């Protein structure tokens, strides 16, 4: 019987040494105390995002609380997606991109030398705006991540478990061999969620996951998010204010400044942001006066 790891492997990918003891939320662990509401899993300190010499996002200071749903809202083009994609170093794929400032994930700097984006991305997963299942079978879609990451265990069980958690198992349990692309839009997105959670990340980033879906599927995904936050921290970028108001615990409002760089205007509990915003801009946005 294998011993449960007591600490997360350092981001550099070397197996455990004397990293500080950090609790990880692995599946199957007995749920214990309600996590400290102020405990943050991702912290951004004075973060700016650049494409070449163009600054897309400036001076962001935010915390993402563990096992909560944090929503990033704001008008189009204000850098919400850019900021999100920095958190799992997806932006590294763009050659001219660079980040300034510090991002801490579980207390470790995300951009420290020796940190491998490949290792980061297993622990910080992402679901995209347009569902992007592979042209493989449903089973192989979900099994892709575990296989790559050297999963040692019962793959069938993991696939079933992930599909159940994504509320897709009942729909597909008889057709696991069918192509993932034959599913409907909402099902495809849930498949993408299933395969993301199959590698057991700690955080799930969602980039407008419902904007390509119909209202019924959207609602299903929102219900799913509420379930998932018991085990994962979720950060969601959304255009849909009602969605943010419904589904999230914390809301961060961004907008674009005169220098075309996005910045954070206000950051707080969702209820407060929507009923009693502190800034004029926030109030204008949530009441629909712009954006």
Partner 1 sequence: MSAASITLTHRRPIGERIIERLLFLAAALGVLTTLGIIAVLAFETVEFFLQISPIDFFTGTRWSALIKPQSFGVLALVSGTLLVTAIALVIAVPLGLLAAVLLAEYAGTRFRTIVKPILETIAGVPTIVLGFFGLNFIAPHILRPLLGADNIGVFSALNGGIVVGLLITPLIASISEDAMRAVPRGMREGAFAMGATKFEVVRKVVFPAALSGIMASVILAMSRAIGETMAVVLTVGTKPQFTFDPTESVQTMTAFIVQISIGETAQGSIEFKSLFAVGATLFVMTLALNLLSGWVVRRFRTGYS
Partner 2 sequence: MTAAAPAARSAPRFEPALMRRKLTGTIFYGACLASIAFLMLALALLLFDVLTRGLPWLDLDFLTHPPSARPARAGVLTSFIGSLEIGVIVGALAFPIGVAAAIYLAEYAADSRLNRLLQTNISNLAGVPSIIYGILGLSVFVRLANLGPTVLAGALTLTLLILPVVIIASIEALRAVPDAQREGAYALGASRWQMVRRSILPAAAPGIMTGIILAMARAIGEAAPLIIIGAFTFVTFVPNPISGQYTVLPIQIFGWAQQPQADFQGISAAAIIVILALMLILNGLAIIVRARLSRHIQW
Residue 151 binds partner 2 (CB under 8 A): yes
Distances (CA, A) of 215 to 128, 211, 218, 221, 243: 17, 9, 5, 10, 11
Site size toward partner 1, by CB under 8 A: 28
Phi first, then psi: give them for residue 6, nearest 5 degrees. Answer: -90, -15
The Cα–Cα gap between 1 and 168 comes to: 30
Instruction: Please choose which of partner 2, partner 1, none residue 1 contacts, taking the beta carbon within 5 to 8 angstroms, the exact cut-off set by kind.
Output: partner 2
User: Residue 144 binds which entry of partner 1, partner 2, none, with Cβ cut-offs from 5 to 8 Å by kind?
Assistant: partner 1
Binds partner 1 (CB under 8 A): choice among 19, 22, 104, 119:
119
| Interface pick for partner 1 out of 83, 90, 194, 264 (rule CB under 8 A) | 90
Which residues, including other chains, have CB under 8 Å from residue 138's CB and lie 6 or more apart? 163, 172, 175, 176, 177, 178, 179, 180, 183, 191
Burial class (CB in 10 A: 0-12, 13-18, 19+), 126: buried
- Determine if 16 is a binding residue for partner 2 (CB under 8 A): no
The minimum distance between CB 184 and partner 1, in angstroms, equals 11
Q: What span, in angstroms and rounded, lies between the C-alpha atoms of 168 and 174?
A: 11
| Candidate residues 50, 97, 105, 128; the one interacting with partner 1 per rule CB under 8 A | 128
For residue 119, list its beta bridge partners.
none
Q: Is residue 245 involved in binding partner 1 (CB under 8 A)?
A: no
Residues in 173-232 that interact with partner 2 by CB under 8 A? 199-200, 223-224, 227, 230
Half-sphere exposure of 221 (CA within 13 A, CB side): 32
State yes or no: residue 156 binds partner 2 (CB under 8 A).
Answer: no
Is the Cβ of residue 201 or residue 262 nearer to partner 1 in the bound state?
A: 201
Q: Which x/- pattern, by CB under 8 A, does the window 272-291 give for partner 1?
A: --------------------
**Distance linking the first and last C-alpha atoms of the chain:** 55
Q: Which of 61, 60, 64 is nearest to 50 (CA)?
A: 60
User: Is there binding between residue 32 and partner 2 (CB under 8 A)?
Assistant: no
User: Residues interacting with partner 2, by CB under 8 A?
Assistant: 1-5, 13, 26-31, 116, 118-119, 122, 146, 148-154, 158, 161, 164-165, 167, 199-200, 223-224, 227, 230
Chain contacts with partner 1 (rule: CB under 8 A): 88, 90, 93, 95, 118-123, 125-126, 128, 130, 132-136, 144-145, 148-149, 181, 192, 195-196, 199
């Amino acid at each position: 019987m294998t011993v449960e790891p007591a600490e997360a492997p350092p981001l550099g990918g070397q197996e455990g040494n004397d990293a500080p003891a950090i609790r990880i939320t692995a599946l199957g662990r007995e749920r214990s105390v309600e996590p400290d509401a102020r405990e943050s899993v991702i912290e951004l300190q004075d973060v700016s995002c650049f494409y070449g010499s163009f600054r897309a996002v400036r001076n962001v200071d935010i915390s993402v609380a563990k096992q909560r749903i944090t929503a990033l809202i704001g008008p189009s083009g204000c850098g919400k997606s850019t900021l999100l994609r920095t958190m799992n170093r997806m932006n590294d794929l763009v050659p001219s991109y660079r980040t300034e400032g510090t991002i801490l994930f579980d207390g470790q700097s995300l951009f420290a030398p020796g940190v491998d984006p490949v290792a980061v991305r297993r622990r910080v997963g992402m679901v995209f705006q347009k569902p992007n299942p592979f042209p493989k079978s449903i089973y192989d879609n979900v099994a892709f991540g575990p296989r790559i990451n050297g999963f040692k265990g019962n793959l069938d069980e993991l696939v079933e478990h992930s599909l159940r958690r994504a509320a897709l198992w009942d729909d597909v349990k008889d057709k696991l061999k069918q192509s993932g692309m034959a599913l409907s839009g909402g099902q495809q997105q849930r498949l993408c969620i299933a395969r993301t959670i199959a590698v057991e990340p700690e955080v799930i980033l969602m980039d407008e996951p419902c904007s390509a879906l119909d209202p019924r599927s959207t609602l299903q995904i929102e219900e799913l998010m509420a379930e998932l936050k018991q085990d994962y921290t979720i950060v969601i970028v959304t255009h849909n204010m009602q969605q943010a108001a419904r589904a999230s615990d914390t809301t961060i409002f961004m907008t674009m400044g005169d220098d075309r760089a996005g910045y954070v205007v206000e950051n707080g509990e969702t209820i407060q942001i929507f009923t009693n915003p502190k800034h004029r801009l926030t109030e204008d946005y949530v009441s629909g006066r712009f954006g």
